[in-house]
Amino acid sequence: MNANGKHLQRLTHNDVSDTLPSWSPDGTRIAFTSGRSGDYEVHVIDLATLAVTQLTGLVGEKGAGAPHWSPDGTQIVYEKFISNRVKRRPGFRSGFSHKNIYVMSAKGEDQLPVLPDPKPGSDTVIMRFYPCWSADSKRLVFLDCTWKGKDQKCKISVMRIGGKVQVLQDIHDKLGNDALTSGIRWIENDTALLFALRKMDNPNAKVYNLYRYEFETRTIKRLTHTLINEKQPDWIEGPLSVSPQGKLPTLWGEKKQTFSQ
């Protein structure tokens, strides 16, 4: 639909959930999570033809989602289930698995972890969620959670491509370690983060609200104060200059608007 909520168009028609869409930088494709194959996997829809292609789960272990495009449109980062062979113990539901952050080409090739995969059968469950590429292509942000017994700790982390992981400890010093986020986005030219967060250790905070974290000042600002969930935020700086291969330069915002009219 348009930014004003008009010209709503349905793109997929099936009886399973299609969730967590991510628009490609050139405005021609959308990556999303779908359960149409029996497991939730990453798919891409071509907006010109509405043809859908499954990218993950074709070989090896099943289960992937939350895709996000690299700024140049050549790669997709996503979260992937690693193993359902985690040791059963009190406090864990059946099928609890590790999750890791992976990256692949826009065609689904070269699917590789950005961090070492957790080992199957470990007493500690590691789950990494909601990866998002920075606009300068140099960093990824994601939620990094560990569970051991009933003890849960979740922290927002930033990783330089091919480099080290930095935990944003400022956030958790103020909001606690026992929190879940639902979507993280780079904003304001990579100078800040926007995310939805729910504090699990506070029985009075059962819903997600939106927060903004600024890197330079290391400050956190709560943006919403509601009794209903505020989840999966997104951000756009304005029309972005792009030049798809073999085509004339255009504006990202204009490309999307042309499709939705």
Comparing 257 with 60, which gets the higher pLDDT?
60
Q: What amino acid is encoded at 254 in this protein?
A: E
- The two beta strands, 99-105 and 112-113, are antiparallel
Cα distance between residue 261 and residue 34, in whole Å:
26
The total of other beta-carbon atoms located within 10 Å of residue 147's CB is 18
Q: β-strand 219-222 against 209-214: which pairing, if any?
A: antiparallel
pLDDT digits over 160-207, tens only? 988 889 999 888 888 877 777 788 999 999 999 999 888 776 656 678
Whether residue 28 contacts residue 66, with contact meaning beta carbons closer than 8 Å, is answered with no
pLDDT band at 100 (very low <50, low <70, confident <90, very high): very high
Residue 261 has pLDDT above 90, yes or no: no
User: Residue 167: beta bridge partners?
Assistant: 157
Asked if 131 and 81 count as a contact pair (C-beta separation under 8 A), the reply is no
Q: Residue 89's pLDDT band (boundaries 50, 70, 90)?
A: very low
pLDDT tens-digit series, residues 60-87: 778 999 999 999 999 999 999 887 554 4
Instruction: Kindly tell me if the per-residue pLDDT of 216 is higher than 50.
Output: yes
Hey, is 80 helix, strand or coil? strand
Q: pLDDT class for 121, splitting at 50, 70, 90?
A: low
